[in-house]
Amino acid sequence: MNAKKVVEVFLGFLLISALLLGPTTEATAQSKTIKYKVSCYLVHFELLPVPDAEGHILTTFSRKGLAFFENGEVATFTNWGTQDITKGKGDGNGYALFGFDDNSSFMVKFQCSMEPAPKGLVSFNCTGDYIKGAGRFDGIKGTYKILNGRTYTLISKDSKSDMYFEVIGNYTLPSK
């Protein structure tokens, strides 16, 4: 094979490789760990008894509060959800939105299991996904877990069912 033919074959191989492998200069997304604590209270609560079993209820709710991040930032916290509970035990799911001073935000989707706690209160474990972001969180994807979640006051005419929980999550943002 002559030198010209070798160069043509080599260049053809490089072209096919570049097309199959795509650009190699694009940076890859880095996974980040995020930790924060949330303190919140009920702003809306509806309870519907279900007559199939004693103590069976369905609820819808929304909560507001603040999220305190490990890096010192504070964000507003708003969430919406539903619960299916029998005698204090059951499951829930919903969404939460975190808003920051720079107009950045992220939204999560969650699933929880709940257990009765002493004095009529509730403890819960939740997991979820980061599903949407804006500003510096645009394109956020990842998962999180709630640690140490529980209510601190009962729902009553005098109480808004104060709640506190800690969160640890991992997320990625698209490469810029």
pLDDT of the residue at 23: 42
What domains lie within the chain, and their CATH numbers? 26-172 (2.40.350.10)
pLDDT of the residue at 24: 39
pLDDT tens-digit series, residues 53-100: 999 999 999 999 999 999 999 999 999 999 999 998 999 999 999 999
> Is residue 10 scored above 90 in pLDDT?
no
**Structure confidence at residue 17 as a pLDDT band (50, 70, 90):** very low
Lowest mean pLDDT among 16-25, 31-40, 163-172: 16-25
Q: Which long-range contacts (CB under 8 A, 24 or more apart) does 41-48 make?
A: 41/65, 41/160, 41/161, 41/162, 41/163, 42/155, 42/160, 42/161, 43/160, 45/155, 45/161
